Amino acid sequence: MKVYISVLKLRLSMGMQYRAAALAGVATQFFWGFISIMVFEAFYQHAVQTLPISLKELIQYIWLQQAFLVFVMMWFRDNELFDLITSGNIAYELCRPSGLYGFWYAKLLAQRLSSAFLRCFPILIVAFLLPKPYNLEPPTNITAFLLFLSALLLGLLLLVAISMFLYISVFITLSPMGSLLVFGVLSEFFAGLIIPIPLMPEWLQKIAYVLPFRWTADFPFRVYSGHIPEHDATIGILIQLAYLTVLVVLGRAALNGVLKKVVVQGG
């Protein structure tokens, strides 16, 4: 455990080096947030039927999504790990006295945490200060907030567990591009990052609710705005835990499986 924590610490301080890049990222995400809000506002303006999610809740959803983008994006990747696998330097990693799964998991987790630390606060603060219809509001009560926090953290752990499969798949395909694309497009869509899940047609919602992706983004953000009531949120957190356990166990098994087959050539 100690090893993993120090990996986490090291990566965090490394990630903190890139402050200018983070600022540029913040600006981009603001623009993105504004554009999406305006698009939805225009859609909602003449909506005839009652909608499954109110514009207010949607705005909370969008700002949280922008603030915690690195917690929920599959595209965010570690090229170093890909290089290790394709170049054969994986041999050095195998010499380490700690399990590879845990080691990589800690590394990936730390990368996402450090970039989120830099980016989320400026976005959240400014989003709170925005004029009335566009602002981010505090959650309805403290329970909702605590539920949101735990859902968000579990979502992050879940996303890292899913992204581990991306790296494992590179052992087989030797090129990250294909799997990155499949994982990226699918996870982005079914996590509700392109359109929120409540706005999807019924049949698509059914698919989205079965897949693990929505638990990383859609679920925590809707808990925050109160769109998912507290009782359901508690059950949801249990489901997140179950998914996490299953994915980590499967991921470990898969990684050990591919590692057994790895042939490191000399050179």
Shortest distance (Å) from residue 48 CB to another protein? 7
**Which listed range, 35-43, 64-72, 76-84, 114-122, lies at the site for another protein (CB under 8 A)?**
35-43
Q: Which two tokens stand for residue 158?
A: 């879940």
Binding mask 51-70 for another protein (x = CB under 8 A): x-------------------
Can residue 10 be called a binding residue for another protein (CB under 8 A)? Answer: no
Site for another protein in 157-196 (CB under 8 A): 175, 177-178, 181, 185, 188-189, 194-195
- HEC letters along 224-251: HCCCCCHHHHHHHHHHHHHHHHHHHHHH
> CA separation (Å) from 79 to 51, 129, 263?
42, 37, 21
Give yes or no for residue 27 binding another protein (CB under 8 A): yes
Half-sphere exposure of 121 (CA within 13 A, CB side): 6
Q: Using the rule CB under 8 A, is 45 a contact of another protein? A: yes
Q: CA 167 to CA 158: how far, in whole Å?
A: 15
Between 204 and 250, CB nearer to another protein: 204
Q: Distance between alpha carbon 99 and the CA centroid of its chain, in Å?
A: 24
Q: In the complex with another protein, which residue's Cβ is closer, 47 or 95?
A: 47
Site for another protein contains 28 (CB under 8 A): yes
Nearest approach in angstroms of CB 25 to another protein is: 6
From CA 37, how far away is CA 32, in angstroms rounded?
9
| Interactions with another protein, residue window 69-98 (CB under 8 A) | none
133 binds another protein (CB under 8 A): no
Please list, residue by residue across 122-148, b when 16 or more beta carbons sit within 10 angstroms of its beta carbon and e when fewer do.
Answer: bbbebbeebeeeeebeebeeeebeebb
By CB under 8 A, residue 24 contacts another protein: yes
- Residues 6 or more apart from 21 whose CB is under 8 A from it? none
Note the residues at the interface with another protein (CB under 8 A).
21, 24-25, 27-28, 31-32, 34-35, 38-39, 42-48, 51, 175, 177-178, 181, 185, 188-189, 194-195, 199-201, 204
